Structure 1
Amino acid sequence: MKLGFLTACLPGRSLEEIVRWASQHHFEALEVAAWPDLGNRPFTATHVKAEGFGEEDADRVRRLFDEHDLTLSSLAFYDNNLHPDPDERRGVNDHVMALIDVAALVGCPTVGTFVGRDPGMSVAENLRAAEKLFPRLVDHAGERGVKLVIENCVMEGWHPDGYPGNLAYSPELWEWMFDLGLFLNYDPSHLLWMGIDPVEAVRPYVDKVAHAQAKDIQIFPEKRNRYGWPGIAVGREDPWDVGWWRYRVPGLGQVDWVRVVDVLYEGGFDGVLSVEHEDPVWGGSEARIETGLEVAHRTLRPLIVA
């Protein structure tokens, strides 16, 4: 297993700058943000541009990672593949297809995305729509020797009432995904606030975990007692402000990282555990984000066999 991080936490830096910093601070891998230019959206970045990416670009990226002894573990584009607007949906799908080609060129094993959801349809209706849509993406990935990985993020902000906006939030839905040829980018933090034991949930499915993310979560039960599971209902100006939990870097929340890493090893996982930094306490400036990444490194590094 290798320890890395997702580059989206440093949107203002170039890939070259991030690779150099990661190597100097003893990370071993990077999950590289590869969103298209979407304007000012939180937790997105473009450190690899799919448009016009060719052999020369691939050579440059490979040399950059080789020179710093880093692994490029995944290309990250987490967006709604079931977007209710047909044009938006098509754009997301096409970008996933383009990133599969980029991954094949640079020798990157995975591309990460979401299933997503049309919030105006039931879960069952969305699943039937996804069963028609995803085979094209999965087949293209298979032809190029790449795995499509789905993060189990709930994406509650995509639903007007704070319900799941990404249909990958439970083992029941993982099994459905696996039947389509999709793999899991396992993040234990989302399971914890859903009331699911992240260790026992993943234990039967480690062989389907092609990539893993390390994000922690801090839960405030007294606030949940007020708002309930869906979160703030009255005056919820920010769709992502649930009000009773917040993300933290590993070591500052309630995920049991000893158990998480242990179950991954026990199940035979030998891929990359990638820190996803969305911690509001250690955010706001690049210096604080760097400190957050260092806290995560100090937490996880002793648990991972060198």
Structure 2
Amino acid sequence: MKIGLVSDSLAHLGFEEMLDAAAAAGVQGVEVNTGNWSPAPHIDLPLLVQDAGARARFLAAFERRGLELIALNANGNQLHPVTGAAQSQVLHDTIRLAGLMGVRTVCLMSGLPGGGPEDRTPNWIVSSWPPETGEILAWQWREKLLPYWRDLAVLARDHGIEKLCIELHGGQLVYNVPSLLRLRQEIGPIVGANLDPSHLLWMGADPMAAADALGDAVHHVHAKDTWLNAAKQATTSLLENGPQGDVAARSWSYITLGYGHDERWWREFCYRLRMNGYDGWLSIEHEDVMLSRLEGVRRSVQLLNAVAPAEPSDYAPPSI
């Protein structure tokens, strides 16, 4: 496995400074955020789509530091009933740019539409009651998600993309293992998971079991941890909508690797990934409001260096 970094983890730095810091921290590659929910401080997406010289300079900055460009990330809600078209354009341009630069992996969300044709806000169905929720969910998949993703997969294949990596995240139609596998069955193996354990943890799922259940549907991994605040969960549950900056008051919070789950947990997670055939990138996504971004990245790299298998297996059973 190789250790990477999501560029927004160091969003306070300019492009060249971010790459310098990534190299100094010891990562081997960077996943670049291109827009939508990210302000994309490290990339000019329209310019790079249009200008071959700009693309060459962009890639040369990675090469000078011995870094790989892991993936492009266009996380957002391209199915939003009001802003979806604009967000979809960013995603489509991200796919085009990835193809132009020889990047075969694009990270994204599945999207979440409204609950009906007249809605102006997204509607995340998380319960089978009241009775109309089933009708809403069926409409969202049939009328919005599946038609969109069929077209998106065609666009991605036409531009040489091999992996569309969906982050299993609350507030999206695809947010857990069954919904990811359902979409993958409908669209094909270009669809896979960006397996971020932090989201599964706050939703009450088990990332180890998810790795087992997904198997070769794990296309990418975000390395991010979650601290589960048992004292608050006891009264509020894991359904948390308090301010993210008030860690002590929340039932869960994103946190630097090792501070929510210890080194032993991360060692087993990496081993389970390899058991199920994944030997790709562990892309650090730092969103801990309590630690500085540079310290959080450095500590995360240190932990992953201690637990992630770095070399391919060469074991051969002794002959009898």
Aligned to 1:124: 138
Equivalent residues of 1:112, 1:150 under 8 A apart: yes
Mapped contact 2:169–2:176 kept (Cα < 8 A): no
Alpha carbons 1:219, 1:254 under 8 Å: kept: no
Aligned to 1:296: 300
Q: Say how many residue pairs are matched.
A: 281
Q: Give the fraction of aligned pairs with identical amino acids, expressed as a percent.
A: 28
* One-letter code aligned to 1:17: E
Shift of 1:11: 2.1
Asked whether the equivalents of residues 6 and 30 of structure 2 are also in contact (C-alpha less than 8 Å), the reply is yes
1:25-64, aligned counterparts within 5 Å? 25-35=25-35, 44-53=39-48, 54-64=51-61
Q: Tell me if the contact between 2:173 and 2:179 (Cα under 8 Å) persists in the aligned partners.
A: yes
1:250 aligns with 2:265: no
Larger radius of gyration: 2
**Which amino acid counterpart does residue 69 of structure 1 have in structure 2?**
G
Residues 1:110 and 2:126 aligned together:
no
TM-score normalised by the chain length of structure 2: 0.82
Residue in 1 that maps onto 2:221: 212
Shift in Å, 1:250: 0.9
Other structure's SS at 1:51 match: helix
Q: CA deviation at 1:254?
A: 2.5
TM-score (norm 1): 0.85
How far 1:134 moved relative to its partner?
1.4
Write the mapping of 1:3-42 to structure 2, written as runs, cut at 5 A.
3-35=3-35
Deviation of 1:44 (Å)? 4.5
Residue 64 of structure 2 is aligned to residue 67 of structure 1: yes
Whether the aligned pair in 1 keeps the contact of 2:223 and 2:282 (CA below 8 Å) is yes
Q: What does the per-residue CA deviation read over 1:226-277, in whole Å, with 9 as the maximum and x for residues that have no partner? A: 1133235xxx577999921000011110272112101111122122110110
Tell me the alpha carbon deviations over residues 159-214 of structure 1, each in whole angstroms, 9 at most, x when there is no partner. xxxxxx11222111111221223221110111112221111112132312221100
Tell me which amino acid in the other structure corresponds to 1:3: I
Which amino acid in structure 2 is aligned with residue 127 of structure 1? W
The alpha-carbon deviation at position 110 of structure 1 amounts to 1.1
Q: Which amino acid aligns with 1:61?
A: F
Question: Which letter does structure 2 place at the counterpart of 1:246?
Answer: S
The corresponding residue for 1:135 is 150
- How many angstroms apart in 2 are the aligned matches of 1:239 and 1:91? 29
Structure 2 unaligned regions, length at least 5: 116-122, 124-135, 311-320
